[in-house]
Amino acid sequence: MFRQSLSHLPLSGIGRRSLSSVTKIQHSLPAAYYRGGTSRAVFFKQDDLPARRSDWDSIFRGVIGSPDPYGRQLDGLGGGISSLSKVCVVGKSTHPDADIDYTFVSLGVKNTEVDYSSNCGNMISAVGPFAVDSKLVTLNDPETASVRIHNTNSGKIINATFPVVDGEAASSGDFSIDGVAGTAARVQLDFVNPAGSATGKLLPTGNATDTFDGVLATCIDVANPCTFVRAADLGVEGNISPDEISAHPDLLLRLDSIRRHAGVQMGLADTVSRVPGSVPKIGIVSTPSSDARSKAQKQTSADVDLLVRAISVGQPHKAVPITVALALAAAGRVPGSIVADVASKSPVDDAGISIGHASGNLLVGADFDADGGLSFATVFRTARRLFEGRIFWKNE
């Protein structure tokens, strides 16, 4: 009876337009979904995307599910936080010293921002495996792949080395990283001459420290432009959790103000309103303590050289961006910097700097030349292909 009565109802103009709109088919493209380190991203081959980069933004927003006023990105493959709202584009190399080009794209969760201004160290760990799995590179060794990656965002070269099985990137292994459950195959990432990624200078302001909003800070550009401030100068504990940062009445707003003023001073924008959401990154650093929480986290001075709590695109990071870790390794060697001030003078591990972050600890190996410049930095991550096929999105 109910169905019959509905069948006799006249269609209004609005109803006809609604029926017309639902007949439109979705767009689709070949794509893959990878976890890289403590992040995830949708991967595209560059040849599968439109030739004009201006046409990419609407595609990326559609597949990720942004903007989402609810902050969950349920209508796409984003995860509601900055570390899960990412796209990677991989294609033929335009650099003589690289095998492939890699472009990183960060998308806002609640807004329409599509940001090409930064790099993602975590997702780089999946770029080499994607290139191998997608047959974008030729393997010269049946057991080990070495892929030279040109990051188009920064112009820098990163060498990725990882095991392969039957022509594909290995997923299983006995290596683990804090922030990711289980173990996987180890991916070695060697960042070549990572200083000056966006500004051309290790210290973009020319100073080891500057003051922004009354807070002393160190601005440094390694893999990504970063700004570091002391936890004590903000009135918080160094081992504050991401949830506590979010719940703090004004900490995120204060950090963003410092970050934006630093961005102008670093030459990233001419006004604070034009500073990108993704760079400079900002981190709260401190000397490890021996309180109960630090002991439970295994982040005392016997475990790590310093603590950092990183903010990425306005949200507390659940771990630490690899680019932030690289910047910390370099800043720790700059006399008079905020990081050098709080870091241990007797490193826990001679191989590099041990960093305590929100999900555990991370060792960053770094090589410095005779002049104190960072010539080489190494981190170890894991990555895994989660799916590949076609990805669908609607018109904006």
- The CATH code that applies to domain 27-195+383-393 is 3.10.310.10
Residue for token digits 């472009």? 103
**pLDDT, tens digit (0-9, with 9 covering 90-100), for 265-323:** 999 999 999 999 999 999 999 999 999 999 999 999 999 999 999 998 899 999 999 99
pLDDT of 5:
46
pLDDT of 2:
44
Domain boundaries, the chain: 27-195+383-393, 210-364
Helices (H), 134-250: 231-234, 242-247
SS3 of 27-79: the string is: EEEEEEEEEECCEEEEEEEHHHCCCCHHHHHHHHHHHHCCCCCCCCCCCCCCC
CB neighbour list of residue 335: distance below 8 Å, 6 or more residues apart = 208
pLDDT of 21:
58
Matching fold, domains 27-195+383-393 and 210-364:
yes
Structure tokens at 231: 């936890």
E strands, the chain, are: 27-36, 39-45, 86-92, 100-107, 114-115, 144-151, 156-165, 168-169, 187-192, 210-212, 215-222, 224-230, 281-286, 306-312, 315-316, 352-357, 360-368, 374-381, 383-393
Q: Residue 342 — φ and ψ, nearest 5°?
A: -95, -20
pLDDT of 372:
65
320 within 8 A of 364, measured Cβ to Cβ: no
| 262/359 Cα distance (integer angstroms) | 27
pLDDT of 377:
87
Structure tokens at 313: 């695109």
Which residue, 163, 167, 137, is CA-closest to 149? 137
Q: State the first-to-last Cα distance of the chain, in angstroms, to the nearest integer.
A: 38
Cα–Cα distances (Å) from 21 to 14, 24, 111, 156, 394, in that order, read 11, 6, 24, 45, 11
**Low pLDDT (below 50) residues in the chain:** 1-7, 9, 11-12, 14
Q: Whole-model pTM above 0.85?
A: no
Which residue, 48, 185, 197, 66, is CA-closest to 126? 185
CB neighbour list of residue 193: distance below 8 Å, 6 or more residues apart = 156, 157, 374, 375, 376
Structure tokens at 37: 């380190």
282 within 8 A of 310, measured Cβ to Cβ: yes
Which residue, 115, 187, 102, is CA-closest to 384? 187
Q: What share of the chain is helix, strand, coil (3-state, %, to 5)?
A: 25, 35, 45
342 within 8 A of 228, measured Cβ to Cβ: no
Q: Domain 210-364 belongs to what architecture?
A: Roll (3.10)
